[in-house]
Amino acid sequence: MTWKIPLFKLHSDSKDINAVSRIIKSGMNWATGDDIVFFERELAAYAGVKYAVSFSSGTAALHALLLALHIGKGDEVIVPSFTFISTANAVLFVGATPVFAEIERETFGLDYKDVERKITKKTKAIIPVHIGGLACKIEELKRVAEKHKLLLIEDAAESLGATIKGKKVGSFGCAGMISLCGPKVISTGEGGAIVTDSRDIYEQLRLLRSHGRADTKDYFKTTEYLDYIQLGYNFRLSNILAALGRTQLKKIEKLITARRKNSAYLSQQLKNIHEISVPTEPKNNRHIFQMYIVRVGGGKNKRDALQKHLNEKGIMAKVYFPPVHLSQFYKSKGFKKGHLPETEAISNEVLTLPMFPTLTKHEMDFMAKEIKAFFHE
């Protein structure tokens, strides 16, 4: 289907095109190269941490991070069910057990009170998720983690640039995961990274992403033997994509400003529709609006009917997120409806509307008009 208003549009300019062309024209630096090094330095500086390690995807980055932290069989990791499935799957990748906890309504992040109830002697880590560009209650979760001597791993896949009291998400725990795939605020098409202040985590991640090889030099430019010192994977981000990441990162604040402006305008158009709750920005938080998520009164049937109405009008509205624990795969592991009543109730209310920097007032007016028409038919 050709959407009149898609859910997202990737933003690019001549600088992005020139950066990618420069690497292609080099004739040999497509896989590895200096742009990876520079991108990682620039990303770490932006995130307010000492180190960043790039990966082929956010999922690969989270997988490698759990391995670097020696999480495995017999360990439990507390995660939300209101997230993209990779948050929970990464725990399974390393042989550990995901334990689902409830979320709270203000930020859609993990409810720190329920997290504390789910802690057992087997719990090794907590993975809170910053949903759609808004920081979760990470300070409260950090206190819980420190009290119980647990690792705090931030899934900041959707929220690079979001802050609490000026501090960037991804810098509160031992490490944070960033995604650079399609609909994110900045994108390399596919890609991800881990940001951290830990030198040990940084060194382990560099080994894990490249077959356990000690990359003291560029593998494709040297004739020297670079030894393999542990088991690793092929999780590298290419130099082509790193070059694109660098030019994307240079304009991230401009893109965030445009998203915030558009979100404010759309909220103004929707605020008087009593059946709709527009997203809010808690005090001391900066919401970057990677997604624009509304809550629809009346439950799942009303929400689904609104989605169908908008889709039929060419507006790409989508549900983010159906609960992970109710997917076919996790139900086969024994999870069922009623396991997380608050998460399930919230998931039945949410609907994500189109949001991107170049969204026009005309397009937002059209969305608001169709939402009003639906509720006043």
Same-domain pairing of 246 and 264: no
For all residues of the chain together, what is the average pLDDT? 97
Is the per-residue pLDDT at 310 higher than 90?
yes
- Total number of domains constituting the chain: 2
State mean pLDDT over 89-100. Answer: 98
State mean pLDDT over 26-51. Answer: 97
Question: Does 54 fall in a domain?
Answer: yes
CA distance 33 to 218: 7
Cβ distance 232 to 210 under 8 Å? yes
Q: Show which of 186, 216, 250 is a domain's final residue.
A: 250
Per cent of the chain over pLDDT 70 is 100
Question: Does 5 fall in a domain?
Answer: no
Instruction: Give me the pLDDT at residue 218, please.
Output: 87
DSSP for 304-343, please give it.
HHHHHHHHHTTB--B-S---GGGSHHHHTTT--TTSSHHH
Instruction: Give me the pLDDT at residue 66, please.
Output: 99
1: pLDDT confidence band, cut at 50, 70 and 90? confident
Among 18-22, 61-65, 125-129, 222-226, the minimum mean pLDDT is found in 222-226
Instruction: Give me the pLDDT at residue 232, please.
Output: 97
Question: Does 72 fall in a domain?
Answer: yes
Question: Does 29 fall in a domain?
Answer: yes
Domain housing 320: 252-375
State mean pLDDT over 110-118. Answer: 98
Query: Which residues partner with 151 through β-bridges?
Result: 125
Question: Does 42 fall in a domain?
Answer: yes
| Catalytic-residue membership of 149 | no
Same-domain pairing of 215 and 301: no
Same-domain pairing of 58 and 191: yes
Question: Does 106 fall in a domain?
Answer: yes
Higher pLDDT, 80 or 219: 80
CA distance 42 to 93: 30
99-118 burial, b for 16+ CB within 10 Å, e for fewer? bbbbbbeebbbbbbebbbeb
Same-domain pairing of 162 and 265: no
Instruction: Give me the pLDDT at residue 220, please.
Output: 85
358: pLDDT confidence band, cut at 50, 70 and 90? very high
What's phi and psi for 163, nearest 5 deg?
-135, 160
150: left (phi over 0), alpha (psi -120 to 50) or beta: beta
Same-domain pairing of 131 and 24: yes
Same-domain pairing of 329 and 220: no
CB atoms within 10 A of CB 322: 15
Domain harbouring 50, CATH code: 3.40.640.10
Question: Does 20 fall in a domain?
Answer: yes
| Helix spans in the chain (H) | 14-26, 34-47, 58-68, 86-93, 112-118, 138-147, 199-208, 239-250, 252-270, 299-312, 328-331, 341-347, 361-375
Domain harbouring 312, CATH code: 3.90.1150.10
Same-domain pairing of 225 and 292: no
Which of 124, 137, 168, 184 is labelled catalytic?
184
CA distance 204 to 163: 27
Instruction: Give me the pLDDT at residue 377, please.
Output: 64
184-202 burial, b for 16+ CB within 10 Å, e for fewer? bbbbbebbbbbbbbbeebb
Same-domain pairing of 329 and 363: yes
Cβ distance 80 to 91 under 8 Å? no
State mean pLDDT over 235-256. Answer: 98
Q: Show which of 215, 250, 285 is a domain's final residue.
A: 250
Instruction: Give me the pLDDT at residue 217, please.
Output: 87
Same-domain pairing of 66 and 134: yes
Instruction: Give me the pLDDT at residue 216, please.
Output: 87
Same-domain pairing of 81 and 215: yes
Same-domain pairing of 196 and 312: no
Cβ distance 183 to 162 under 8 Å? no
Same-domain pairing of 74 and 164: yes
Cis amide linkage into residue 84, ω under 30° from 0: no
Longest dimension (CA), the chain: 72
Question: Does 7 fall in a domain?
Answer: no
Q: Show which of 224, 250, 276 is a domain's final residue.
A: 250
